[in-house]
Structure 1
């Protein structure tokens, strides 16, 4: 059974995926997962769902791969009409429940918002978000000359996330990522 999530601090959560559409007539939903591997999202037994400003908790009853995607059945979501009401909800998870990563590995949400500086301490901006490509992950870094600290310009740059090549150091405590990158590029 679902219960209303009380006093959930959204800053303490990360978006793991989204419920996209109903699947069948028994309350199943198609799931778009941000996890890698894709079905890693199914390892979490309780999901916090956000639809607009509404937050609810649902226990994952069952989930599985289906074709190129995933489908899931959540407690409290009955029949196709129930699934239709849940379609579009974001799947949130408390950051504290994420497994600890090996040294040098990072969750994307940890990198978003970091200040990106060159080896020469020129500020390129902040990491807005990351995305996958076939070869490597890419960071979108946006400069703000009026920001704190001020960036060299207001450009948006796409930097490959290549540790020990482009990414020299990530210091989560100080909020700074050092990169080997020419600011004119």
Structure 2
């Protein structure tokens, strides 16, 4: 299993008990969706290693407290702190037609109401306060905030996102 075949689930942020339990910060708005997992992939030395889960439940509503098979001591758990967790893409919950996962829309065309096709999405920049579509238009980079007010329609079938951008935004990039 490679990272390309998986989605990022979260990170082990701490150990919980002397019996090898860990606390996981899930990268989701719905952590309760992931309390019944049988296994996860843990990133070790740039490899994804499968770990089976004996039990897990929400701890203080946002962290997942988990006990992995064969992780039975505080020292074993300490070795896992900081590790990223992944699940296969086929385990992502199905989203409504107008919602999307970031990885799904890479390669989609972005169509602006005034400017027409402004290029293909090459990546999503979510390191800023507001996530941005990173679009390539004939070698030029165009950045558009992923704002619900700008996104008119997500057409997964035709691999297009229709947007209405503020006046002047596209001109900043394409002149």
Structure 1 and Structure 2 fold alike (TM over 0.5): yes
TM-score under structure 2 normalisation? 0.78
Gaps of 5+ in 1: 1-7
Matched, 1:123 2:118: yes
Q: What's 2:42 paired with?
A: 49
* 8 Å Cα contact 1:108/1:130 also seen in 2: no
Describe the SS at the equivalent of 2:90: helix
* 8 Å Cα contact 1:117/1:125 also seen in 2: no
In 2: Cα distance, 1:45 partner to 1:169 partner? 36
TM-aligned CA deviation for residue 182 of structure 1:
3.1
Q: What's 1:4 paired with?
A: none
TM-score under structure 1 normalisation? 0.74
TM-aligned CA deviation for residue 82 of structure 1:
0.8
TM-aligned CA deviation for residue 140 of structure 1:
1.1
TM-aligned CA deviation for residue 112 of structure 1:
4.9
Match of 2:3 among 4, 10, 25: 10
In 2: Cα distance, 1:65 partner to 1:84 partner? 20
> Which string of whole-angstrom CA distances, capped at 9 and with x for unpartnered residues, describes residues 13-56 of structure 1?
10111111211211111111012212322232210111331221
* 8 Å Cα contact 2:9/2:87 also seen in 1: yes
* Change over 3 Å in CA distance of 1:181–1:43 after alignment to 2: farther
Matched, 1:158 2:145: yes
Gaps of 5+ in 2: 170-175
* 8 Å Cα contact 1:49/1:55 also seen in 2: yes
- The aligned length equals 166
Matched, 1:111 2:105: yes
Match of 2:156 among 172, 177, 182: 172
> Which string of whole-angstrom CA distances, capped at 9 and with x for unpartnered residues, describes residues 44-101 of structure 1?
2210111331221111211122225221111121211111111111111111122323
CA RMSD of aligned residues (A): 2.7
* Change over 3 Å in CA distance of 1:53–1:183 after alignment to 2: farther
